[in-house]
């Protein structure tokens, strides 16, 4: 059934299953078996890359300056609105395949480059298709409040989402056409303020969606306090979180999804991972894969978390497995090697698991097998012919 039947010492398991027959036996001598990685925050459905903006950023333009010059999210929205469903699906398949080969077996996928009902639903249908046709696990997020559409105020956009988008989503869910897990809002100065964010998140919660939103990224907005109050499952970014917000999140068992790639690429101050951990916040990691932070690799995210956010390797592994699964409401089935949990595993070509973090950008010759629900989904032949050292 794709679930783990036994975990323990090899000789004990050999005795326990001495009568059993297996379709396949993998010799892991000298290798490590780890839980599949969980990427708790991605934006993988879009058209039109923003490689030209990277040059602008390197020349000193800020995120909001690019946004106001018609770049950023609005540039991607324009291209995504024009793209067909099939075009979007083909690129999503390709991107998820790259994530899988880098060790991610469960990925959160957001909409949010539509901003109108028609394109948001197109993106969610593309995610739904991937859920049904691909081996990688997907948690689907409606993020219609990712930016304020051109020609609308934030209040008008909020009203449109609550009156039109969410009722349509609810109807499609009830008819079984769509399975959306989370609701997200970009709570930020000049985007959706705290009150608009509260209204949208509460309306999403009322139709059964988990709250999992962008907060306190570029400016302190009291997003963490709001999330704790609303019973949010997770809040992402948190570069500008307040001390009170950290305490509130710890009390509410609301996960912090930290995104070291974004802080690194936008040259923002790093999220306070150490303070959060010391205060008892559940810290998870995500790649924030999107046209602004083009990174597929959770091993690289873990490395950046250790170096730039001062997390230990053990903390980074927990944050990219069990805690990231918790942030998606899936820690009872994913994120650790335990009997009864889904058989999502990595086998790495090293006798020490820390190589997954230590080798910066080295996962391509290190990840030997990716297994989802007990099936080998990816086998890397290069690992058999070369030592990982």
pLDDT given for residue 109 in this prediction: 98
pLDDT given for residue 67 in this prediction: 81
CA–CA gap between residue 174 and residue 264 (Å, rounded):
41
pLDDT digits (tens, 9 = 90+) for 182-215: 999 999 999 999 999 999 999 999 999 999 999 9
Confidence of residue 43 (pLDDT cuts 50, 70, 90): very high
- Mean pLDDT computed over every residue of the chain: 96
pLDDT given for residue 385 in this prediction: 64
Q: Is 153 exposed, middle or buried (0-12, 13-18, 19+ CB in 10 A)?
A: exposed
CATH of 35-47+83-328, one of 3.50.50.60, 3.20.20.140, 1.10.287.3510, 3.40.640.10: 3.20.20.140
On the question of pLDDT at 386 being above 80, the answer is no
pLDDT given for residue 71 in this prediction: 85
pLDDT digits (tens, 9 = 90+) for 8-25: 998 999 999 999 999 999
The encoded tokens of residue 282 equal 């559940």
- Provide the H-helix boundaries in 219-363: 223-230, 243-252, 260-265, 273-279, 298-308, 313-319, 322-327, 355-358
Length of the chain, in residues: 389
On the question of pLDDT at 389 being above 80, the answer is no
CA–CA gap between residue 284 and residue 302 (Å, rounded):
10
Lowest mean pLDDT among 6-10, 162-166, 281-285, 315-319: 6-10
pLDDT given for residue 64 in this prediction: 83
pLDDT given for residue 69 in this prediction: 80
Lowest mean pLDDT among 48-57, 73-82, 379-388: 379-388
**Mean pLDDT over residues 90-98, rounded?**
98
pLDDT digits (tens, 9 = 90+) for 255-270: 999 999 999 998 899 9
Lowest mean pLDDT among 22-26, 117-121, 158-162, 341-345: 22-26
**Mean pLDDT over residues 282-309, rounded?**
97
The encoded tokens of residue 128 equal 């739904």
CA–CA gap between residue 33 and residue 159 (Å, rounded):
49
The share of the chain scoring above pLDDT 90, in percent, equals 89
CA–CA gap between residue 351 and residue 31 (Å, rounded):
5
Confidence of residue 388 (pLDDT cuts 50, 70, 90): low
pLDDT given for residue 201 in this prediction: 98
pLDDT digits (tens, 9 = 90+) for 348-365: 999 999 999 999 999 999
Q: Is the pTM of this model over 0.85?
A: yes
Hey, where are the domains in the chain? 3-30+341-379, 35-47+83-328
Cβ(104)–Cβ(95) below 8 Å: no
């Amino acid at each position: 059934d794709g679930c783990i039947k036994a975990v323990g010492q090899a000789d004990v398991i050999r005795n326990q299953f001495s009568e059993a027959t297996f379709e396949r036996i993998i010799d892991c001598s000298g290798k490590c078996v780890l839980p599949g990685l969980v990427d708790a925050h991605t934006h993988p459905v879009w058209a039109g890359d923003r490689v030209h903006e990277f040059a602008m950023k390197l020349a000193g333009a800020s995120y909001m300056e690019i946004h106001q010059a018609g770049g950023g999210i609005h540039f991607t929205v324009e291209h995504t609105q024009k793209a067909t469903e099939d075009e979007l699906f083909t690129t999503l398949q390709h991107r998820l395949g790259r994530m899988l080969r880098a060790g991610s077996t469960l990925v959160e996928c957001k909409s949010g480059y539509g901003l109108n009902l028609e394109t948001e639903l197109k993106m969610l249908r593309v995610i739904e298709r991937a859920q049904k046709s691909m081996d990688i696990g997907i948690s689907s997020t409606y993020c219609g409040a990712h930016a304020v559409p051109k020609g609308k105020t934030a209040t008008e956009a909020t009203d449109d989402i609550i009156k039109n988008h969410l009722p349509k989503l609810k109807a499609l869910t009830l008819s079984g056409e769509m399975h959306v897990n989370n609701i997200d809002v970009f709570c930020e100065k000049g985007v959706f303020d705290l009150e608009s964010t509260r209204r949208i998140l509460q309306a999403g919660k009322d139709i059964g969606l988990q709250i999992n939103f962008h907060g306190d990224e570029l400016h302190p907005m009291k997003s963490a306090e709001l999330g704790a109050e609303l019973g949010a499952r997770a809040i992402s970014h948190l570069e500008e979180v307040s001390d009170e917000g950290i305490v509130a999140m710890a009390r509410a068992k609301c996960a912090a999804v930290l995104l070291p790639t974004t802080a690194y690429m936008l040259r923002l101050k790093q999220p306070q991972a150490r303070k959060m951990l010391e205060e008892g916040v559940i810290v998870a990691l995500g790649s924030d894969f999107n046209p602004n932070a083009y990174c597929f690799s959770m091993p690289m995210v873990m490395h950046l978390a250790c170096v730039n956010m001062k997390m230990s390797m053990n903390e980074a592994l927990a944050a990219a497995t069990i805690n990231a699964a918790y942030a998606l409401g899936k820690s009872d089935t994913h994120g650790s090697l335990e009997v009864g949990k889904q058989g999502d595993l990595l086998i790495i070509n090293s006798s020490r698991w820390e190589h997954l973090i230590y080798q910066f950008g080295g996962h391509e010759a290190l990840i030997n097998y990716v297994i989802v629900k007990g099936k080998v989904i990816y086998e890397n032949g290069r690992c058999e012919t070369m030592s990982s050292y």
